[in-house]
Copies of this chain bind each other. A is one copy, B any other.
Amino acid sequence: MDDRTGQRTVAETAPRRPENRYGNRPTMKDVAARAGVGLKTVSRVVNGEPGVTPDTERRVQEAIEALGFRRNDSARVLRKGRTASIGLVLEDLADPFYGPLSRAVEEVARAHGALLINGSSAEDPDREQELVLALCARRVDGLVVIPAGDDHRYLEPEIAAGVATVFVDRPAGKIDADVVLSDSFGGARDGVAHLIAHGHRRIGFIGDQPRIHTAIERLRGYRAAMEDAGIELSESWVSLGATGPERVQAAATAMITGPEPVTAIFAGNNRVTVTVVRVLADHERPVALVGFDDIELADLLGITVVAQDAAALGRTAAERLFRHLDGAEEAPARIELRTALIPRGSGEIPPA
């Protein structure tokens, strides 16, 4: 059983206690026994605490090495009460808007020594709640939530119990909490005003489902721009609903071929824009287009967009989260990030 032989195959020299449920892993106790020291000394070495002789430390390190010991953070968490992990609940990680956002949150978490648990709500309020509560049961230190639902009172006990929470992209429903979002209203208004400045008056708006805050805000921006220009709008120019290709395609087709055909379309988000671009590509009469959200390759396709910075959204939210975790006692705030209109051609097409 003696293995001072210095073999490289660490795994084989691990102790074989039969009933250990962690796949038979060595514990600090095992390390202590092997190094001939007390449990607490091992703890000190593992955590880099002072007060250990270099010689003792070496012996402990050797034992750790030989046994292939790795501290069990579950036990640590139980004792310390902090998991050094945060949760991020978003709509769909497969959406190109959320990848950079998640990555930005991860970077901030990493800088604070925390891991990130991701979850996709699929825009389903029940699933959002289920995920959030699962994360709370894991005792994540904090939560970044892109809300799917519009009632977050279920989070009140958690927040009261100390789970720092920041909402992103859309405000929380029925509770007072931090939120970081883009200026959807202003961005949409600017985009539509841009189309108006290029001579359009019959402008369509295709947006997401009305229960989604950003959809409503962008629609408000559209209406404001139209009103500012003194344009009376036809309700046949406005379409809200699911952003799947079928619905959007139908809506866009109806708008450009209907009785009062639009000469321009404002697309409410990246998914809408992509589908509208496809529809317009198959259409002979040129129709102008401005889309909310930037898209990869939009420059090559000459798509004018109102860009929001997904990474900045995530970064700002995460930084605020960690400021709370570090003890800052700031009142819930609403942080709004500016959008940027990027003209690339499609928004500058004159009315037919």
Contacts and interface: CB of A to CB of B under 8 A. Distances in A.
A155 to B, nearest CB: 10
A83 interface: yes
B106 A119 contact: yes
Interface in A1-45: 9-12, 14, 20-25
Nearest to A280: B300
A74 B70 contact: no
A139 B73 contact: yes
A120 B99 CA distance: 11
A116 B89 CA distance: 11
B120 A22 contact: no
A288 B14 CA distance: 58
Among A20, A137, A277, max chain B CB count under 10 A is at: A137
Q: How big is chain A's contact interface, by range?
A: 35 or more
Contacts of A72: 78, 137, 139
A352 interface: no
A229 interface: no
A78 B74 contact: yes
Contact of A158 (B21, B70, B92, B137): B70
Interface stretch (A160-168, A178-186, A235-243, A336-344): A160-168
A11 B161 contact: yes
A349 interface: no
Interface string A118-141: 111000000000000111111100
A278 B298 CA distance: 11
A120 B139 contact: no
Nearest to A281: B300
Among A10, A11, A74, A135, max chain B CB count under 10 A is at: A74
Interface in A291-307: 295-301
Nearest to A23: B162
A103 B96 contact: no
A112 B306 CA distance: 40
A311 interface: yes
A106 B118 contact: yes
B23 A163 contact: yes
A281 B24 CA distance: 59
Contacts of A96: 96, 99, 296
A239 to B, nearest CB: 22
Nearest to A104: B94
Given A98-B99, A115-B117, A136 B70 contact: yes
A331 interface: no
Given A94-B311, A277-B297, A157 B10 contact: yes
A80 interface: yes
Given A23-B161, A139-B73, A281-B300, A106 B134 contact: no
13 contacts: A22-B162, A23-B162, A24-B162, A72-B137, A72-B139, A74-B74, A78-B78, A85-B138, A93-B102, A93-B103, A116-B118, A297-B297, A300-B301
Given A21-B81, A23-B160, A74-B78, 7 more contacts: A20-B81, A70-B133, A70-B136, A96-B296, A116-B117, A116-B118, A117-B118
